[in-house]
Structure 1
Amino acid sequence: MLLLPLLSLSALWGFVLNLTVGDGRALLRANTIYQAIGVTSTDLGLQLQGERTRSVIAATTRKLTEDLGEQRARTDKAVGDFQKAAVEVDGDISDEMRASVGTLNGHLGRLSSIRGDIDSGNSSRLNGMTEYNRVLDSLFRLYDQMVSVPDMAIFQQAAAMQSMGNAREIIAREQALVSGALIDGRLTEAEVTAFTEYVASRKFLYARGMAVLDVGLREPYEKMFAAEPFLTFTLDEARIVKSGKAPADAAGWNSRMATLTERLDKIGLTATGGIAERATEAATSILVRIGMAGGVGLIAVVASILISVRFGRRLAGELADLRAAALDLSEVRLPRVVRKLRDGEAVDVKKEAKPIKVSGSAEITDVAGAFGSVQRTAVEAAVGQAELRQGVGQVFLNLARRKQGLLHRQLTLLDAMQRRTHDPDRLEELFRLDHLTTRMRRHAEGLIILSGAAPGRAWRKPVPVLDVVRAAIAEVEDYSRIDTEHLPVAALDGGIAADLTHLVAELVENATIYSPPDTTVIVRGDMVSNGYVIEVEDRGLGLAPDVYALVNARLADPPEFDLADSDRLGLFVVAKLARRHGIQVTLRASPFGGTGAIVLIPRKLVTEQDALAAPAPADAPEELPSRTGKKPLAVVGGGHHNGLPRRVRQTNLSPKLSPPPAPEPESKPERSPDEVRDLFSAFQRGTQRARQEEDNEGDDS
């Protein structure tokens, strides 16, 4: 635990020391490079500028002079000195600077070719001057690479001096161009354009450099710019640009330029030397601070290591004992308790929650005590939760099984009473009682489902979707408000028929409860690529978007049943059934207001049956309602549509809101008692046949 901070501290100390030493070395290296390449390259630039001016004059007069030959000799010597110095400091320069040196050497190698063109008269003075400019441009790019010091203040001053040096080169180009024009007294159009560009560049470079230079370096330039030679030079520039002609006083021009360039070179050398001296002083100061800070830091690191090792050994032993006790708790004791609870075994809290015994500092013993408290609380909570859930589950299951048995007996008694009754009014009341009992049985099955058991009803053969929907509607109290729309013919796996009936019934009942009593609940279905969809839509107030998201999350991944949230018992049952069979149930806002529930039954559970599309005989019993113990919904009234009950509008409306009764139609003769008895006897025989088929098929399943 202590090793990592110590290593980090040591690494950080070394990293900072390396960076600081690197800055100092960079400053010293910059001074070394300046003393070697900087000095020789400066002399090389001056010699190239002088040769350029004399070469322009030679290109104008078409004569080679002794002065030009002497200048070329001085240039060759400067080239040799520079190349020798570059070789000596090759190990200290960067890759970028090494590339710049190579580029400059390549241009210097073309000097003989440039001179030959001028000597033979094949090059005009502007072309020859341009060739020399290219050599000097590569030299000034090398100067840019030399301005690389880590001290920001020194770097800014060096960069500013580089701009001043570039401006000095522009003045030299102006001087060379005008020196050739003084001989024949004219400037070509191209030369005037070039001179104009030189003037603009010179002004820009001086302005940029002066804006950055500090007071000590800027003051000599300010004095020179305010002196007579420079002011006269700027006037000469303006006249040349405006007239396109060389100055009339050649001797005066040459004298003023000699004085001006001499002062500029002197100021430049002084300023460059001052910057180099600053770099050396900064490097020395940095190295001194490095020595002091590095030494003190090293002592601190060594002392930290010694102290940490001493205390770390003791702490490591104490932590090892605590770790062993914690691992025993997390990997052995608590898993053993959970396993016993899962297997239904009794757990002794005192025995399983023994205190953790460790020795050491107060902090270690406090942590051990905290672990012991957590252990005891966790074991007690797990035991209590397991006992609570087990007890609640058993209560649910026992009550549901008892209630289911009683309801089954009640359905049997009702069936017998219906067979013995011939009075239509009594028979209708028995049918209503049968319907109520069926709904009670669904609630009992819901408790069984919540307890984790299965209700136990299943069919081996596929069951039509139509029968499933009709059976679900028959289990809802306010079934007269439910309308069915398009339901393509299809059948479902018999193993899920009872559970799907329960699931749809819960959704339909939820729709009727949470929508106004004068509205209609629509049930529709359709075959889709992924299976079969049953949609239940009401016209209630709907829910907020965040509530829809919460409910859909619970339907997709049902949590443990919470006794405090019994208001949504039906949704828990729906989630359990959907998860059992891989059915997707989603709630969403209806475009007409209210809520729409979408039930997607997987394709593997759906069987297409074209034969079911044919209409059933008028006296055919309803298959699934008969199998589930429910009677035909004759009490709904209003006839049937596609074999489904159709409600009559305003049937359940309050008498005060009912419209005036319509005139009674002409009365028809009532059926005789024998006709009524024969009618219900035929109805009972059909129901009995359906129940017998159910019993036979249930035995097969």
Structure 2
Amino acid sequence: MPLRAVLLVLLLVPSVALVGLWGLATYELGNEYRVQAAQHDLKTTVGPRNAALFNALQRERRLTQEVLAAPEASRTALVGQRAATDRALRAFEPLVSADTSDGQQGLAAAISRTVRVTDRLAQERRAVDAGTVDEERAFTYYTEAIAAGTEVFAAISRGANGEVTGLSQVLFDLNGAVDMINREDAVLARGWPSGRLSDEDYDLVTDAVGTHEYLLKSRVAPNLNAEESRLYTAMTKSEEWRKRVELEERLQASDGEGVALSPARAKEWRTAADASVARLEELIGAHSQVSDAAGAAAVRELKLYLYSVAALGLFAVVLIVLMTWRLTTLLRRRVLAVHDQARDLEQRLPQVVARLEQGENVDVDAEVPELSPAADEFGELSRALNLAGRTAVHTAVRQAEQHRGFERLLQRIARRTQLLIGLQLKKLDALERRHEDPQLLEDLFDLDHLTARLRRYEENLVILAGGQPRRRWRRPVPLLDVLRAAQGEVQDYRRIEIDVEGRPWISERAVGPLIHILAELMENATAFSKPPAPVEVKAAPVSRGVVVEMEDRGLGMEAEQYEAANALMQEPPQMDVMTRADDVRLGLYVVARLAAGLGLQVELRPSAFGGTRVIVLVPQDLVAERPRSVPDAAGDPSPKDAGTPLTPSRRHAEPRPADGADELPVRSRGQAMADVTAPAPAPAGPPAPQTGPVPLPRRTRQASLVAELRAPAPHDPPVSPAPSSAPARSGATIGAFQRQSRKNRAAGARPSAPGTDQSEPPTREDRG
């Protein structure tokens, strides 16, 4: 992943996570607040209405039991209580449609059950009025309705807040104690008229007494606050409470038989029970206020906590996001700074290496200055990168110095070798002039040819070492002579057929490199084609200069190899003899290097014969005009021979003497081959009659070369005068020279023709 994406992930992932956590926490707190607020509202709404209905049903149950036990008793109190119960019921019934989705668990079911039970209240009342029900059935119905109200109390006592739930549980226990006292009162109410209690009624009374005592002493009293404890103590120490407890103890002390339930005791019980219930309701009211206040306080605290957490969480999220964005921005800047430093080093090192390759001196401190980065991990990375850059530049400088030193060493060795080769060529020239033995001359010519090839190889070494060939020409040279000079530097030169169209001349500054380029290409053509297949070399002027086409009949190359070779010719790489030591294409590197220096275009293509066709385009600025001072006969081919290659096959096709004498060895050196001679100027007068043996023709050095390729003759000791007969470029002349040489050796004398030039011919210069 890119750095921007990584930093963006580092920024977004914690930010999104924090925003999600903040949102989740805020949602949970908001949900908890909504639930507690709804539960508090339902408690404050449902609790009073359920308490009113709960108490009204209990009183109506007691009055109903009294009426059923004494039909002659007054019904006024029952009618009034029924009206109070109806009012409480009408206030309770709308709670069925109240939204209890966030309320206490089971509250909706408890309210619905209470409403369903109270729906039968009118029917039960009619049955009581009609006398069709007894005390037990009426007691059971009212107890069931009151139990439904108790379930409502139990539901609203369970909430999300633990403290409020604890307080509500105490309130539920208080209502349970009231229910037990009222149930005891209802059972006793139906026993007062008869003065006796049945076993079932006695069990109900004793169970109710034990239950409300347990609730009050074990569940309520330990959980009351100071004010409520004061009320509870005052209630338990009151006279009415003491009398009720005393009557309950007396009742529990008997077995239910013969208990006197006289009207006097009924009145005493009535007073004590009503007062006890009133005291309990007072305690219930006080505790309800405490519970409601605790619930309201819990809701307010939760609301404040919600707003505080939401605000602080949002502030923390924004702060963390901003800090993360800032830190990632700083981190990105630091990383980009190191990246820019690395990129600068990446761009600087090739430039430094290129300057070093060009021979410039490089100051390491100036190119890679010392840095003073921060003392942290990025600072250490910058220092390491700077140290790596300086080390790389130091290494490049040392390698460049070693490379330049090695190149200078190679050039120095190659130059000295070239000097020795030049001296060897001069010595061979002297030997070739002094000796005329055909076998010896053939060996000398072969040695001369090998020396010329050795000179080319030494020039290759100089070029690969970064130098340039030292062969220079001061005047233009015909292209044919350039091609012949290149041919003379090839090992298998006899297979090369040269054909030049027209008379193009080459500028003096391009003669030496062009000879070298053509010699390398001819060498490759002969080396990669099977003998005796010829290598055709054709040259002709074109619109943009002069083109030389070279075609062999070898194996050729693959398409990828042609592309690689042409790419090499277009952009020659920086030469390094140490890295190119194992490369078989050193000749192509030399060609590419020289061609790039001259601006030549070299292209390799597949040949129709299956081999390779090389096209060398010499641009127009390297093509020269024919010098006016050079006559047509001075080594320039005649018009009829201008386009005909001078090859061994053509030379041997010349007319020969009939005696079939052996010809002299063919000279293998370009323009200075043994079968190439220059015409001598004709005498002013008529030719003198020939007397005696016909003199042998004398070979004239550099006779076939134009004046621009000739070198001044060294001061060698004079030799015997040569015959004045004009040499001719034909096989017949060479054959006559051989025959006459054998005759003179047989006769033991070698006459000289009068009028011949007795001076030594000039020594040749370094040829291609």
TM normalised by structure 1 equals: 0.46
TM normalised by structure 2 equals: 0.42
